[in-house]
Structure 1
Amino acid sequence: MSADEILVTAAEAQGIVDRALAYRAEQGFNPMTVAVLDLGGRPILVKREDGCGFLRVDIAIGKANGALGFGLNSRALAERAELLPNFMAAVASLAPGGVVPAAGGILLRPGPDGRVVGAVGVSGDTSDNDEACVVHALRGTRFADDGH
């Protein structure tokens, strides 16, 4: 396994951000923030569009960070949070970078073995629209995820 197989490159992060924001514009969604994190939850690239509220940066990072921390895309994390709200609130207060259990955070898995190498989080519109931007951005990449 090469280093390239276990990393999300800056070029890949830029492509994901660009495709997500282009799709957002095509669909007429609200301005968004897209955050691409590495496996350790550190930002590779975060972009906040003009007109997107400043808290959206933390929300996008929190969606991606929650996905990384639990090994689940954030839609599944939201479903768990509904069942265990007190636990999720406690975890969210402990996690560096926050945890936002709402659709819009997707794990980056480059191969069929399911190994996670990072995550993307989007915030700015409804959670469903945020997630749609990530799913669209990952199509045709080594991170394509049909099981969001």
Structure 2
Amino acid sequence: MLSLSIASAIIDEALAEARRRSFQPLAVAVLDAGGHLIAYKREDGAGIVRFDIAYGKAWGSLGMGFGSRELSQRAAKNPTFITTLTSVSGGRMIPSPGGVLILDADKKVLGAIGISGDVGDNDEIAALAGIAKVNLFPAP
């Protein structure tokens, strides 16, 4: 289960990595496996639409079962399919890097993180750092 405290820690670590690298101000959303928002933060200076983009990156990752980088690559190869997915999802899928699945030790999906504010590659770097630096599986 992805708790509020773990989701918050993932966000804080992602933002810390972004500050270390001097990325543009970010918005970060963490969703549970059902696509429900657990936690969200927006840095000062991040645009007001950044929430929708961050949420869409995470939601699209959950909806398709892979990160939004893969969704972006598939969009480039088959734009008609992505246009259809965007329509079917009510515009919630954002095919740009920055959406990453959060998995347990058995590769079961716990949720997803979505980040928006810098270029997609940098958004993804921060997302991966946030997940990597949080101990999702503490020893019993």
**TM-score for both structures, normalised by structure 1:** 0.87
**Quick one: percent identity of the two aligned structures?**
42
1:58–1:97 contact (8 Å) kept in structure 2: no
Instruction: Map 1:1-148; keep pairs closer than 5 Å.
Output: 7-96=1-90, 98-111=92-105, 113-142=106-135
2:56–2:94 contact (8 Å) kept in structure 1: yes
**Residues 30-76 of structure 1, C-alpha deviations (whole Å, 9 max, x = no match):** 00000000111110011111110011100000000010000011111
**TM-score for both structures, normalised by structure 2:** 0.92
1:65–1:97 contact (8 Å) kept in structure 2: no
| Shift in Å, 1:141 | 3.3
For 1:96 and 1:115, the matched residues in 2 are separated by: 26
Q: Greater RCO between the two (CA within 8 Å, min separation 6)?
A: 2
For 1:135 and 1:35, the matched residues in 2 are separated by: 13
Letter in 2 for 1:29: F
**Residues 72-98 of structure 1, C-alpha deviations (whole Å, 9 max, x = no match):** 111111111111111111111221570
In structure 1, runs of 5+ residues without a counterpart are: 1-6
Question: Runs of 4+ in structure 1 displaced over 2 angstroms?
Answer: 140-144
Superposed CA RMSD in Å reads: 1.5
